[in-house]
C-alpha cells in the first residue's frame, strides 16, 4: 500500500486502532521505524533538514468539529463534549507527501499563543509548537494500520492546555531515504 491517498484518508489522531507505547506492541517496528516513531524532537525540523529546501505543508482539511467519545479518550473528561479544531495535512518533500498528520485541539486550548493554531494555513504546526517556551510532550503512542502504515501520536501541552498530534509515515519512506542518501 504505497498509495498516499489511502494513507491520508486513514491518518487520523482518533483512528479506531490500538494505540500503545512502543514497548507494549505485539508487533514491534524495526530499527528504521523505531528511530522515526520514537524521536521526541520536531518531525518538521527533521524532515526540513532532509528536504534541500523542498519541505512544504499541504493542508487537506481544517475546521471545527465536535469530538465524540472515540476522540476524547485521550483528553481529560471535561473535554468530552468540547468543540475541537481539526487539521489534517501532508508533510511533503521533493513534491511528494511523506507524512500524513492530524491534530485535534480543544477550543479551551486556544488561549494565549494557542490562538494562533487556527491560523496556521500552510505553516507547519511543529515549527510553531517547538518554538514555544514551556512546551511539554506526553508519552508517545504508536499504532500500525493495514499491517504497513506506522503512526505515532502524543499530547502536547502548551500553557498546560492539550493538543493531540498524530503523524503517519508513508510506507515507502525507507526506500525514498535510501535513494536520497545514494545520490
Phi and psi at 112, nearest 5°, equal 55, -135
141 assigned binding-site residue: no
Phi and psi at 133, nearest 5°, equal -70, 145
Angle of CA points 104, 150, 130, to nearest 5°: 45
3-state SS of 100-129 is: EEEEEEEHHHCCHHHHHHHHCCCCCHHHHH
Other CB atoms within a 10 A radius of the CB of residue 107 amount to 14
Residue owning grid cell 487556527: 118
Q: What's the rounded Cα separation, in Å, for the pair 138 and 127?
A: 18
70 assigned binding-site residue: no
37 assigned binding-site residue: no
Question: Which of helix, strand or coil describes residue 32?
Answer: helix
Q: Is 85 exposed, middle or buried (0-12, 13-18, 19+ CB in 10 A)?
A: buried
Q: What's the rounded Cα separation, in Å, for the pair 42 and 127?
A: 7
Annotated binding site for substrate: 87, 125, 167
Binding residues: 87, 125, 167
Amino acid at each position: 500500500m504505497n498509495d498516499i491517498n489511502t494513507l491520508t484518508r486513514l491518518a487520523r489522531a482518533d483512528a479506531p486502532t490500538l494505540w500503545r507505547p512502543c514497548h507494549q506492541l505485539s508487533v514491534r517496528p524495526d530499527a528504521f521505524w523505531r528511530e522515526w516513531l520514537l524521536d521526541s524532537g520536531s518531525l518538521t525540523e527533521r524532515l526540513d533538514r532532509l528536504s534541500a529546501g523542498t519541505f512544504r505543508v499541504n493542508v487537506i482539511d481544517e475546521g471545527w468539529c465536535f469530538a465524540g467519545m472515540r476522540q476524547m479518550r485521550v483528553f481529560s473528561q471535561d473535554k468530552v463534549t468540547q468543540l475541537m479544531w481539526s487539521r489534517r495535512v501532508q508533510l511533503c518533500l521533493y513534491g511528494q507527501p511523506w507524512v500524513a498528520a492530524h491534530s485535534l485541539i480543544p477550543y479551551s486550548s486556544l488561549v494565549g499563543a494557542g490562538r494562533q493554531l487556527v491560523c496556521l494555513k500552510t505553516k507547519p504546526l511543529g515549527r510553531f509548537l517547538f518554538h514555544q517556551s514551556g512546551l511539554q510532550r506526553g508519552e508517545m503512542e504508536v499504532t500500525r494500520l493495514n499491517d504497513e502504515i506506522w503512526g505515532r501520536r502524543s499530547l502536547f501541552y502548551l500553557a498546560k492546555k492539550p493538543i493531540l498530534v498524530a503523524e503517519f509515515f508513508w510506507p515507502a519512506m525507507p526506500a525514498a531515504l535510501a535513494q536520497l542518501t545514494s545520490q
